[in-house]
Structures are given as C-alpha cells and as structure tokens.
C-alpha cells in the first residue's frame, strides 16, 4: 500500500504558566514521539478517551497548530517546515470536518457563500465552474439546490454537518480529518452521517483519519484502528485484529468500558 502520510517522532508540548510573571513551571505533553503511517484510500480510526491527544494529532497533521518537533510527511514533503504561503496547495488537498456543526458554519453567510468561499480563497473565479461544482456537491451529500439560499440556523444538526462535509470536499481533497464528526448529533442521525462519509470515501477515493471515542462507530467505519493513550499511539492494527486479538492493557480497558445489554 502507498503511504500518503508519514508522521515521525511528532511532539506537542504546551507550557504550564505559573503566576503573573508568566514563568514556565513545566509542560503538558499532548503528543509524545508519535509515529504513524496513513495509507492512501484507507480510513484510519483514531480512538482514545477525552484528553488523550486525538484532536491535537489531527490538528498537527493539518498544521493548524505547529508541533513542538517531529515531521509530518505528505507526498514526500515535510509540511511542518513549510511557510503559510507554501501550505496553500496542501490546504486544498487536506481538509478538516469539525466536531460541532453548530459552531463551524458562519451564521451570517448563506450556504451558497459558505461553499463558494474555498474557491475564492484558492483564486478560482470562474462563476460557471463554481456554480456547477456547488450543485454537484449539494446533490452528492443528499440535499436539494434550494438549500443554497438559506442560512445555517434554518437546518438541523445533521443537515448542518452534511453542509460542513460538502465544504470540506468541495475542492476534491485527497485527505480528510474527521474530528468526532457525529458526537454532537442525535444517535438516529449518526448512522446517516457515517454512511455518507463511507459513500464519499468510495466515490471520491478519499483517505480519512476518523477521530472518535465511540468504539462501535470506529469499528464500523475504519479499515485500521490506532489506539491513543496519554499522547502516545499504544496499539495499531486492522480492526478485526484489534478487537479480537488486542495486545495493550489500555485497549482492553477501552473495550471493557463499552456497556452491554446483558
């Protein structure tokens, strides 16, 4: 399998500030020497409890935050060392789906303008091309063109997340970080969004890092699963192998925490 990302010795340390003078008394180790490969056209599930460093890792991979040290190699290039200007082409190829669809869409913009914005940022001005692409994407996420003239507050949480997904895929990226994209939604809607992501992965040949603390969703959507604990990847395996023959005690603790009807 071809590697899309190679994450090497990635560290993210946040200083602990003491007193009014701002003295640093220590560091919080959000990521600690993380090594991880993500292969083309796979969905890699990233699971762990809250505070384990999952979202920090996703943000560092996209260079939304600058890691303390380490490398994130995308298509053979280390994006950590790139400038903001040099990252522009990478931004079009790697996108993020945020956790909360109520916060991630600008309430003052119509849906058409929200979906048009990535084109404007990337210097695409052909109005016909933009309109055709927006109509195609809206259809792809299972919504009608009439939604384009409405505002985010007019939609349910599930519909807003569909729009957020449309914005993330509008420029045909190769890679998506889905950061707990269904945790803010009703259980009845979660399956629809997960199935939509699976359909889009097949239709658009996407590679995805799917972050969640919900093991049932991770098992359903993922090809491989990485388990994160205190800023470290403690286990990674094919999903069947991880559930049936896991090695690490923390993985066992996560599985034991899942409630069962009996």
**pLDDT above 80 (res 104):** yes
Note whether 101 and 156 are within 8 A (CB): no
Please identify which residue in the block is written with the tokens 């979202």.
55
pLDDT at 18: 83
Q: How confident is the model at residue 246 (pLDDT cuts 50, 70, 90)?
A: confident
Q: Which residues pair with 71 in a beta bridge?
A: 8
Of the candidates 35, 55, 4, 41, the one whose C-alpha atom is nearest the C-alpha of residue 235 is: 35
Average pLDDT score over residue span 203-208 = 95
183 close to 193: Cβ distance less than 8 angstroms: no
- pLDDT tens for each residue of 13-40: 998 888 777 788 888 899 999 999 999 9
Provide mean pLDDT across the span 226-230.
Answer: 94
Question: Whole-angstrom Cα distance, residue 42 to residue 50?
Answer: 24
CA separation (Å) from 70 to 88, 165, 218, 246? 21, 29, 27, 28
Average pLDDT rounded to a whole number, residues 58-76: 94
CA distances from 201 to 15, 52, 143, 256 (A): 38, 27, 18, 30
- Residue 86: pLDDT band (50, 70, 90) is confident
Sheet containing 69-74, strands listed edge to edge, beginning at the edge strand earlier in sequence? 23-39, 3-18, 69-74, 77-78
Contacts of 52 (CB under 8 A, 6+ apart): 228, 229, 230, 231
Dist CA 224 CA 250 (whole Å): 17
Which residues are paired to 232 by β-bridges?
229
* Confidence grade of residue 262 (pLDDT, cut at 50, 70, 90): low
63 — alpha (psi -120 to 50), left (phi > 0) or beta? left
Q: Select from 7, 1, 11 the least CA-distant residue to 73.
A: 7
């Amino acid at each position: 399998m071809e590697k899309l990302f190679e994450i090497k010795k990635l560290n993210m340390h946040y200083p602990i500030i003491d007193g009014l003078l701002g003295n640093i008394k220590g560091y919080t180790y959000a990521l600690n020497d993380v090594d991880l490969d993500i292969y083309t056209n796979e969905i890699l599930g990233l699971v762990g409890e809250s505070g384990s460093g999952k979202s920090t890792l996703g943000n560092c991979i996209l260079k939304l935050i600058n890691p303390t040290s380490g490398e994130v190699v995308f298509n053979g290039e280390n994006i950590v060392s790139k400038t903001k200007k040099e990252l522009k082409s990478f931004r079009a190829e790697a996108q993020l789906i945020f956790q909360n669809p109520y916060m991630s869409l600008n309430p003052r913009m119509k849906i058409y303008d929200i979906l048009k914005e990535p084109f404007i940022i990337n210097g695409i001005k052909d109005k016909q091309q933009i309109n055709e692409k927006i109509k195609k994407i809206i259809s792809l996420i299972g919504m009608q063109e009439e939604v384009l003239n409405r505002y985010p507050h007019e939609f349910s949480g599930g519909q807003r997340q569909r729009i957020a997904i449309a914005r993330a895929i509008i420029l045909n990226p190769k890679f998506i970080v889905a950061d707990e994209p269904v945790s803010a939604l009703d259980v009845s809607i979660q399956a629809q969004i997960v199935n939509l992501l699976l359909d889009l992965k097949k239709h658009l040949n996407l590679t995805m890092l799917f972050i969640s603390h919900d093991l049932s969703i991770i098992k359903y959507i993922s090809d491989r699963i990485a388990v994160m604990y205190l800023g470290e990847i403690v286990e990674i395996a094919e999903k069947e192998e991880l559930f049936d023959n896991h090695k690490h005690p923390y993985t066992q603790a996560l599985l034991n925490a899942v409630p069962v009807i009996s």
